[in-house]
Structure formats: C-alpha cells, structure tokens
Chains A and B, each alone.
Chain A
Amino acid sequence: MSTQPQNTMTVEQALGQAHAHWNAGQADQAERLCQHVLALWPGQSDALHLMGLMAHAYGNLDLAIDHLRRACQAPRVPAVYLSNLGEMLRQRGLLAEAEVAARRAVTMDNTLVAGWNNLGIILQEAGKLDDSLSCLERVVALQPNYAEAHNNLGNTLKRMGRLDQARQRYEYALNLAPAYAEAQSNLANLLNDLGRPDEALAAARKAIDLNPRLSDAYINAAAVELGRNRNEEALRWIDALLSYAPLHAGALTVRATALRHLERLEEALGDARRAVSIQAENGEAQNVLGEVLQAVGLHEEALAAFDKASKTLGFAPEKALINRGVVLMERGDKGEAKVAFEQVLAQYPRSASAWFNLSDLHRFQAGDPAVTRMESLLYGPDPLQSQTDRTALNFALGKAWMDIGDADRAFGYLNEGNRQKRATFSYDSAATERWMADIAAAFPAGIFGKAKATLAGSDQAVFVLGMPRSGTTLIEQILASHPQVAAAGELSTFNALVNQLGPYPQTAPHLTPEICGGLGQRYLDFVRPLAGSRRKVVDKMPSNFLFAGLINLALPDARIIHVRRDPVDTCLSCYTKLFTREQLFTYDLAELGQFYRAYERLMDHWRAVLPADRFIEVQYEDVVDDLEGQARRLIEFCGLAWDPACLDFHKTQRTIRTASLNQVRQPIFRSSVGRWRPFAAQLTPLLAALGIDPNAPDAPAPTVAEPAKKPAARKATPKAAVKAAAPEPAAESVEAAKPAGRRRKPAAT
C-alpha cells in the first residue's frame, strides 16, 4: 500500500506519489502526502502548489490562492506555479496582482505556453487588448492545436471589434475540439452581434447541450431573444439558468432587462438591485440597475449607477457612459448630454451608440468632420462589424445628410439602415391591415349607444394617440404644462389590460358593461398614483389608437385626443428613426404607407362612432401655426380652465422618453411642416402606397376633421381572427444590455 508515507520515503518520492494520486482522482491520499511533506518541511513549494490545485478543483478559490501565493514565495519557484497563481487571481478579479504573477512566469520561461495564455486573458480582462492579442498570438504560434488559446484569441478580437477574425478563431477552436462548449457559447454571442440571431441561438443551444451548466450560454441565448424583442423567450432562458443557480448575478441582470422591456418595472428593479447586492463589482449589473432606475424615473440614482458601472474593472464602460448621456438628454440637459457623448467618443472613437445619440443633438453642416468620421467607420479600412452598430450609424448618417440637405446621400444611408433593421424580424403588412379592419368591424356604431360602464372618476384619464412621430409628444407637453395635468408618458397599461381579456378584437362581442367597467377600473387604479394631486393624467401611448372605441366603453368620461399630421411628413419622420423598441411597420416605405392608410381607415371609423365630447382631433400643422388657439381648444375639451403656462411647454421640467425627445424642448418646430417635399423623389414607394401624387399642386393634406358624425370612409368587413403584432411605439432611447459571454479555460497544470 502506498497511501501511508513511510519514514523511508524521500520528499521527492512523497510528492511524486501525491501527484500521481491526484491525477487518479484520489484526493484524500494526495492531501495526506502533502500534509506529511509540509509537516517535515513547512512552506515546501510543490506541496503547497498541489494543495492549491486541489482546493481550486473543489471550488475553494480563496484557499487555493492562499496556497499558491505561499508556494510562489520559494526562491526556486517554477514558472508554471506563477502562471497558475496568475490565472486564479484573474478568476478572483485581482487583475493587477494577476498580471504581475503571469509576467514573472513568462519572464522566467518565455516558452511557457500556459503562462502566455494566462497572461493573455488577464490583459484581455484588464482592457489591454493589443498586449493581450500579442500574448495569445504567441500561444497559438507555440502550440497551434491549443483549442482554448484560439477561443481566448477570439474573445480578445471580439472585444477589439474584429468580429470576422474572432469568428474564425472560435470556429478553429471548435474544429480542434468539437465538444468545446465555451467556444460554442462565445460563437453564439458573436453571431448575434453579426446580426445572425437564428444561428446564434442554435450555437447557444449546442453549447448548453454540451454543457448544461454553462451559464454564459443561457445568458447568450437570452441576449439573442432580448435583441429581437422576444422578451418572454429571454425570460425562459434565464429561468432555466436560475433553476440551478438562483443567485447568478448575470442572470438576474438579464432578467431585469427583459422585465423592463415588458414594463414590469417593479420586478425589474428588484432583480437589478439583487444582482448588484450579490456582486457589487459587476459593472453590467450596475449598468442595468441604472437603466431600470431611469425607466422608473429615479434619475439621480440612475446616474450614480452609471457612474459606478463606468468605473468597474473588467467591464467596458462605454455603455454606461452612453446611458449617462441619455439620462442627461432625457432631463433636457442637451448641452451636458452632448458633452457626455463627445467624451465617450474621445475615449471610444468607434462607439456607434455615441455617434448615434450625438447625431440627434447635433446640427450637421457641409464639410462636417463628424460625417467623415462616421463614414469611415462604415466604409473605411477597418469598418465596424457589429450589425446593430452598422445599422445605428446608417441612421445617424442619414440624419446628418438630411441636415446638410443632400437627399440622395441621406436616403442612401436611411435605405440601408432600414433594410438592415427590417431584415431582423418578420412582419406581415396585409395581416396588420386586416386586423385593423377587423377592429373597426368589431366596434360598430350600435354598441356605443347602449349602456356603458358606470365608473366614477373616469374623466381623470386623457389619452393622446395617433401615429408615432405625429406630434403626440408635443400635445402631451402642452397639456402637461397645465398645473392640473400630469403626464404619465407612454403607458403600455391599457394594451396589457386588453390582452388579459383575450385576443383582440375577437373579445369585443363578449364585453359586458361589467367587464368594461372592470377594465376601466384597473386602468384608473394604475394611473391614479401617477396623477398625484392633479385632476388629469395624460397617457400618450400612440398605439392606443387601436383601442379608442374600447377606451370609450371602459372609461366613458375619458378624453381622447387624436393627433394628426401630414401623412408623408409623419411617415418620413418614422422612416428616419431607429426605434429602440419594435415598430415593425416603419422600416419599409411601402409597408409604412400601407400601415398609414389602414390606421387612417380605423380612425375614420372611430371619428364616426365616438361622441364628440369625448373624442377630438388636432392637426399638428395647426398647432404650429396657432399654438394658443389649439392649446385653448384642447384645454377646454379636457374640461379645464385656461392657463398660460401651456404656451411655455418647452420649459416644462419633466423627463421625456420617446424618440422625439430632442425636439419638444425647442419652442416650436416649423421645420417639421412640409418637410417631405424636397425628398419626394426618394419617397416614391411611400407616396405610391399612400396614393399621393407628388406633382399635384397641393397634395391632399388632411383637414382637421369636424368632430361631427360622418360615415366611416370604408366599411370594414369582419374577417377571421388574424394574429398580428400590435405596433409598439418607441419608449426609450438606448439599448445597452448585451451580456458579453466570455469563458476561458484556465491553464492550470
């Protein structure tokens, strides 16, 4: 028996046997021999090193580091011990000490492959990407079949934005080691960045199949679904991860983002706070906490979280710095926001999100160097490769060239940006048209004459609705400047409550006054706290136009304000915006025109059936021409006394969180009227879909409809249930959560 060290055994023999036992998975015997050696020779380096490796294998990282630190104090310490210490320190997040150890290792032995590999990933994590790259390139030169090193090289290249090269490395690693789950997971993350969500998801599934406890793979799968706004799917991946790792900070972070997208803000905040409390130094968690705080309106706290995130080691602070700029922008600190984005660009000249956000705040002029810089990021010698980055830059450049007045160039970029965005989801324009016709048919004039829900206090609710980019934000700001009016922003509440009743509009025939009353009551319960002490609360979710009839049935005294704007101007404005949340119909000119006409037919119907004292329409162009006249008309319609504050709407101190947030701060916006005419040539597919002749002396700008009854323009025929995605208006301005899945193989030998 060899398990009991005999007195005759030399230290070398005992250590040799200890190593052999450990190789064979016989930890007890190995430990006993190490302890025996250490009793004879306290501080013996090899015994401490082996004890450290065993502690590491059993998950006791701190203990392992303690053993290795002591092992590395020996005067003749082998280079590989230092290299292993470096890797363990990296795992513990002690990057500075890790780098010192790993550098000592490769200085002692510059052929030590594991040492260069470990140094390479330490440098990668510390953001020293050029150094990391040269370390890891040396590793694969020394050992070309080292799959883990190729994977690590892929991670460094990815962080450098060299996505094509990163992909080659991951694929090479997988070629060497087909069952390499981490490389599969990293490939998933990369494919998602390259705008290939289906392939990305397949790779993540494969990674999970290879290693069902590879948490990064779940997070990457969830990120794919977050990226295409399938938040429920993202939640399923996260719940699968949390089922075995309930305190996984990364998982809670992603769940917080999905919940935020779903407007489940309280739950989102709970998850984000828990993630931060589990891992205070987790920059991604801090950043997401900031995003949730921002969404619930706690801006000071949000800024503090973004500041923390941007200072966290190992986390690319770019996203947090951009989010900080967005908060400043939402607060109306345009100048500060602009400075913030410029600072990001000084640090990260290739940050597409910084350029994208800055372009909204900047008026471009011919010869603007910013345009050249953005164009070189798309088409220069070292172009950006992330698909979302490229899309955002196309929109920014479209905006820039529109400012400058070069329609051809502007639309060159806009068409490309829209095409890229449109390629990321499926959308059935005809089904959406049928759906809107079905809605009109489901709410015929007859049902509005019958008994309605009796609901006390429903006059508190004011809905501002219409097409996105039609001026709903402007109208809301004018109303909210009145001391008796609170602005709730764009609420998905009514939509959510309607969906709880069943598929819409098939539920319409079953809506008793009781059901409608319950719906109205739940809506009021939700918005009342937002109103505070004010008499009115404005919900400016544009897509509530789908529910105008039902709003009247559920909340008989609620006021509904339909905002209209020249159809081409509206659609042009939609087309120039990259919405952060899905507006599925705005990325193709023909689909945009078709949607607009379907919307218009539905509004014709509402106009015909809704009572004039509850439904009013306002033309954006009329507001521009006669602010006071229109403002007085709206205030009166809401049943309030006139207040001159409404004319100073641009001074209102309230955070605005929609795509138009940089416009309503300007006192008036005449440049938005008739904006489309110089672009008529580029808008041909839209004009065709809208049925507008650009050469007609006066294209049929719709007149403000009289609130008097008139028959609906077209009779919609009831159709079988068509499930179409309800258009979701823009709600926020920046999308930053995208967990980076990185996983390295420690080279502890």
Chain B
Amino acid sequence: MDMKELEQQVRPMLIAGRGVEVEAMIRPLLASGTGPVTLWALLAQALRVQGRVLEAKPIQEMLVEALPGHLSTRFDLAETLLLLGEFDRGWREYAYRYSLAHTTRIERKVQRPRWDGRPIPGKTLLIHDEQGYGDTFQFMRMVAWAKEKSQANVILEINHETASLARRMKGFDALTLRGELPPYFDVHAEMMSLPMIMGLQLSQLPGEPMPYLSALPDRREHWRKRLAPYKGLKVAFLWAGRPTHFNDANRSMELEMLAPLAQDGITLFSVQKGPKEEQALNPPAAMAKHVVSLSPEIRDFEDTAAILTEVDLLVSIDSSPVHLAGALGRPAWVMLPLLPDWRWLQNRDDTPWYPSVRLFRQTEWGQWGPVIGRVAQALAELKAKKV
C-alpha cells in the first residue's frame, strides 16, 4: 500500500470528522500489531476525532517512544494528555509547541535562561505572554503564583490589547508591552510554560484569587445605561472565533444556527468581533426582534469586560471572551465541538479553570443542532427561574 496515497486520501476525511470510516480502513492494515508509523498516527487521529481520546493515548505514547525526536507527535500527545487531565507529562510535552513546522519561526529566542521554578529572591523574572488572547486571560492567574514561588522581581510582558485589564491584576512588579524593550531581567518564562515549570496540578485549579480580573467602573456605568432599556434576561453571545485559528472550522458556527436561542423574554446582545460581526446587524427575520448588536460599539476588551459584568450570561463558542468572563467570575456557557481544545477536558459540563463557566458539548462530530437545543432549553429554564 502506498502510504503517501493513503494519507492523502485519509487526511481530508479526518478533517471532516469521518473517524469511523478511517478507523475501519486502517485497522485491518494494523491487524498484525505492527505497521508503519504513519498508519498508527492516522489511527490515533481517527480515534481522537471520534472523541475516543483514551484509546488514542497508548498509540500516541508508543509513537513518541519510537520516535522521540519527532516533535509534532509529542505535541499531539500533549494535547491528548492535557485533554485527559494528565497534567504532569502533558505540560512537559506541551513544551514542544514551538517545534512544529508552522511554529518554529515564531519561537522567541530569549538569550537568558528559562526560570527553573526555584526561588530566586533578588533576581528579576520576565514572564511574557504568547499567542491567543484566550490563552493570556486563562494563564494570567499564574503570574501572581510565580511571583510568590520565585520571590523574584516579576516583569509581566503582555500584548497591547489585554494590558489594560492586566494592569489592575495583582502579582507583578512592572508591566511592559510586547515589542517594547523590557527592563533588565535575569531569567524568563513564557506564560504557558509556567504550568510545566511550577508543576501545575488539576487539583490546584482555579486557584486564588478567583476572579482575578475586574471591569472598569466607568465602563460598567456606560454599558449599564446602554443595556437598561432592554427587559428580561440579558445574554451576550458570539458564534465565531478568529478565522485563522487552526481549529476554527470545528469551533465556529453561523448566526442563524442560533435561532433557537431567540426566545421571548430574552435579549441577545452580539459581542461578536471580526468578519462575522456584520451578521448581527442583519439577523435572520426569526431572530431580528431578539438580537441587538453591540459589536460596532465595542472598542476594546475593557468594553467586553464591562458588558460581561453587566449582562446575566455569555453564550459563546470556544473563544477569548469565554476566558475573559471566567476570569471575571461571570456566568458563561460554552458550546464545544466533539474534540475540543485540551483545556476543556472531557466528560464534564463544568471546568476546573472557571467556576462560573458551564460546558455544552457536541456528542456527534460537527452536529451543533442538539447542542443549541440544550442551550435553548437551559436558557428557558434560567429565564423561568429569574422570573
């Protein structure tokens, strides 16, 4: 069998979530218990897209054992382990996130050593954030913990968009913006290396303080007034993530799919940003009288934070406002694909990261209908309770 040909045939099927078919194609080829690495990797992915992550794990572990220098395999294993809540090895393998074909070029070559987790009183530790805003919101909580553990002078380097919220957080001594020259430092740590460096355990979540972010009082005042005219349950919502995210096709949806949420006694406030925000200005007729778009008025994450603080609930796909809501301690319902990002774990509708967040998971690949149905049902119940 030509492995290249098979891979070309199977990859699109896996992207389309056709794990059952792919598994049926590959299993016989591995019936003897041995086979090429590529086949095993495809089988592991076929199991993963069926949500059978626990079965994929031993295969991925075997692949890493056989090819320890094949670093993208290790990153794949990290995702599986973290999804299963196996933090110890999970965080260690997650260290290979900058060793993938598309990430090696963006690894930051800091010329100072990485902090090793030991106390370094009198030294300066630079903690710098990485890619997504959601990641930054989620792992900001560890800055204060790192400060406590290192006893160092901590400089937090952060992107411009989230800096304003971060400034009001405790746990660092100085803040510098990404791209600017940071003050002198002795050691550094990427924000998402902190779990590995500090040996973060599931049982330590959500940690103290919780919430760790807060909205600006004057922005809250502004948005309270803006939302005042609308009666009933106030629900902020968004339905699409950053289109360049590698998994966007699986996590995002279209506005009209959320029609079942348009219920009497509920106002849906669009906080969608980006290319899809236009959709809320011209919602489908069935939704029109329930949907109000705030999108054009949202200037920054401070606005989003204030809105999330003033509404009753956020309903969202897996995107950065969910993390902002969680960090603010505000209620949020997240609609997740069958194979979600590792941070949402498996088989639970809550999340140890954020006590105020509730999860609604797909039970079949790509099928949002039942998920939206359950959210609509829960909304109706919430509305009833509020009344």
Q: Which residues of A does B touch, CB under 8 Å?
A: 1-3, 17, 20-27, 29, 57-58, 208-209, 212-213, 215, 218, 236, 239-241, 243-245
Contacts and interface: CB of A to CB of B under 8 A. Distances in A.
Given A29-B179, A213-B71, 13 more contacts: A3-B179, A24-B111, A24-B182, A25-B110, A58-B109, A208-B68, A213-B69, A213-B99, A243-B37, A243-B67, A243-B69, A244-B69, A244-B71
A394 to B, nearest CB: 38
B111 A2 contact: no
A213 B104 CA distance: 14
A58 B179 CA distance: 19
A218 B180 contact: no
Contacts of A239: 67
B246 interface: no
Interface string B48-82: 00000000000000000011111100100000000
Contact of A208 (B69, B71, B182): B69
Contacts of B69: 208, 212-213, 215, 218, 240-241, 243-245
Contacts of A58: 109
B118 interface: no
A212 B74 contact: yes
Nearest to B64: A212
Shortest beta-carbon contacts, A-B, top 4: A25-B110, A25-B108, A212-B68, A244-B69
20 contacts: A1-B180, A2-B181, A3-B180, A22-B111, A23-B111, A24-B111, A24-B182, A24-B188, A25-B109, A25-B110, A25-B111, A29-B179, A57-B109, A208-B69, A212-B68, A212-B71, A240-B67, A240-B68, A243-B67, A244-B70
A24 B185 contact: yes
- Residue picked from B69, B109, B182, most chain A C-beta under 10 Å: B69
B348 interface: no
A21 to B, nearest CB: 6
A571 to B, nearest CB: 40
Contacts of B188: 24-25
Contact of A17 (B68, B111, B181): B181
Contact of A26 (B112, B181, B184, B185): B181
B291 interface: no
A21 B181 CA distance: 6
Interface string B106-118: 0011111000000
A31 to B, nearest CB: 12
Contacts, number: 65
A27 B110 CA distance: 9
A406 to B, nearest CB: 52
Contacts of B292: none
Nearest to B73: A243
Nearest to A208: B68
B118 to A, nearest CB: 13
Contacts of A245: 69
B306 interface: no
Interface string B172-203: 00000001111011001000000000000000
B126 interface: yes
Given A236-B66, A243-B69, A243-B70, A2 B180 contact: yes
A209 B68 contact: yes
A215 B68 CA distance: 11
A745 to B, nearest CB: 13
Interface in B80-104: 99
Q: Main SS of chain B's interface residues? A: loop
A20 to B, nearest CB: 6
B184 to A, nearest CB: 7
Contacts of B112: 23-24
Contacts of A2: 180-181
Interface in B203-260: none
Contacts of A3: 179-181
Contacts of B70: 240, 243-244
Contacts of A236: 66
Given A209-B68, A240-B67, A24 B126 contact: yes
A22 B111 CA distance: 7
A268 B18 CA distance: 41
A159 B19 CA distance: 54
A1 B66 CA distance: 49
Nearest to A23: B111
A27 B111 CA distance: 10
Contacts of B184: 20
B339 to A, nearest CB: 25
Contacts of B67: 239-240, 243-244
Given A20-B184, A57-B109, A236-B66, A26 B179 contact: yes
Interface string B147-181: 00000000000000000000000000000000111
Contact of A240 (B66, B74, B109, B181): B66
Nearest to A244: B69
B109 A27 contact: yes
Interface string B121-147: 000001000000000000000000000
A6 to B, nearest CB: 13
A501 B188 CA distance: 59
- Residue picked from B37, B108, B109, B126, most chain A C-beta under 10 Å: B109
A2 B180 CA distance: 7
Contacts of A208: 68-69
- Residue picked from A20, A58, A241, most chain B C-beta under 10 Å: A20
Nearest to A3: B179
A368 B188 CA distance: 66
- Residue picked from B108, B110, B111, most chain A C-beta under 10 Å: B111
Nearest to A2: B181
Nearest to B110: A25
B120 to A, nearest CB: 17
Contact of B181 (A20, A27, A241, A244): A20
A179 to B, nearest CB: 9
A80 to B, nearest CB: 15
B78 to A, nearest CB: 13
Nearest to B108: A25
Contacts of B37: 243
